Structures are given as structure tokens and as C-alpha cells.
Amino acid sequence: MNEVDFLLWVKGSAFNIALFIFVAGLVLRLFEILSLGRKVNYAVPKGDPMQGGLREIFRRFGTDKATFQRSMITIVAGYVFHIGLFVVIFLLAAHVEVFKSVLGFGWPNLSTPVVDAFAVVTMIALVVVLIHRLQHPVKRFLSSPGDYVAWAVTFVPLLTGYMAYHHLLLSPQMMLGLHILSVEVLLIVFPFTKLMHTFTVFLSRWYNGASMGLRGVKS
């Protein structure tokens, strides 16, 4: 397989397979969760579960001052890389084109040098969270191989994308092929790793918030 064939393959059948596994995996995982159901609650509510659920979905984007001080690196680096990932994934012109071809519609993009800067900051933040994970006694203790896999499959697409754009190490074509391949790996493992929190975070915050709302707990 030469470079051109490789690029055609990752852009073609490999991409379709990865996308299929990603979507099917998401559906399966959400079904696995939701089909477990939950029991009826007979306690007379003090407040509205729906309101509580919605409130917690938004409130947990922030934190109280003391918690912020205790977990500053986790929160700041976490915020930086999440925002960075959002910008890089959804606002790079080339990516918007990909979404357009898959979804049938697109949206405005940022200029590529701006997104490039975001990519650099995001990679730095990811390195910080990795070092923090390896050094912090609790994080290191809690971390399973899955945590490091999730980190790697997130980091490699950023790195290869950056290198392809800047024509580093390999030919841009080859690097682009590797970049797309790494995204495909990301898509395939996504539903089966902690990356799934991208979706379940809203579910979890809602369940917890609904319980708080029912009990009249206002945080």
C-alpha cells in the first residue's frame, strides 16, 4: 500500500467502519445504561426533580472556592484541554468540512492559525494532566490502564494533526493518513472507555440533580 492508497483507505472504508462502531457503540452503551431503569420513588417530593436535574447539569461546570483551591490543577488544566478539544475538533476549517460531508451541514470555522494555537495549548494541558495523574497519589492510585488508553487516544490525534499541518517528520500526506487513522482508533474505543463520559456526564448530573431536586436541596 503506498501513501495514496493508505490515505484513500483511511478516508474511505476505514473511516466508515470506525464511524459505524462509534455510533453502534454509543447506542449500545446508552442502552446498557438506560435499560437498567430505576425504581419508582414514593417519597413526597419537596421540589421539582426536573428543575434540580437541569440545575446540576449547569452548576457542575463551576465549583465552590475551597474545592477550586484544593483541586486547582485538575480543574484549570481540565478546563483548558476540554475547551481546546472543542475548538480543535469542531472549529478547524478542515474538520468542519468533514462534518459537512458526514452530517450534510456545517458551521462557521475559526482561522487555522488560531485553531493551531489552541491545539498547542491543548497538548500542553494534556501533558500537564498526565504528569499530574502520574504524580498525584490519589490519581495515580485510581488510574487503570483504561485511563491511560483514553489519554493516549485523545492526545495522538492532536499531535499527528499538528505535525501534518506543520509538515513535520513524515510527508504531510502520510502524516494526515496517520492523523485520520488515530481519530478512527479514538472513535472505535470511545464508547468502551471513560471517554464515554462526554455523553453520560449529562445523564449523571441529571440523575444526581433530580435526586437533589426531589429532596429540595439547592446547592
Q: What is the CA radius of gyration of the chain?
A: 20
Binding characters for other proteins, 126-165, by CB under 8 A (x = yes): -------x--xxxxxxxxx--x------------------
Question: Residue 74, interface with other proteins (CB under 8 A)?
Answer: yes
Strand partners, 92: 110
Question: Residue 105, interface with other proteins (CB under 8 A)?
Answer: no
Nearer to other proteins by C-beta: 72 or 93? 72
Question: Residue 172, interface with other proteins (CB under 8 A)?
Answer: no
Instruction: Give the ranges where the chain is alpha helix by DSSP (H).
Output: 3-11, 13-34, 49-59, 65-70, 72-91, 93-103, 112-135, 137-142, 145-165, 172-189, 197-214
Contacts with other proteins by CB under 8 A: the residue count is 60
Per CB under 8 A, contacts with other proteins among 32-71 are 32-44, 46-47, 56-57, 60, 63-64, 66-67, 70-71
CB atoms under 10 Å from CB of 191, counted, come to 21
- Burial pattern 23-46, b for ≥16 Cβ within 10 A else e, equals eebbeebeeeeeeeeeeeeeeeee
Residues that bind other proteins (CB under 8 A): 28-29, 32-44, 46-47, 56-57, 60, 63-64, 66-67, 70-71, 74-75, 78, 133, 136-144, 147, 192, 194, 196-197, 200-201, 203-209, 211-212, 215-219
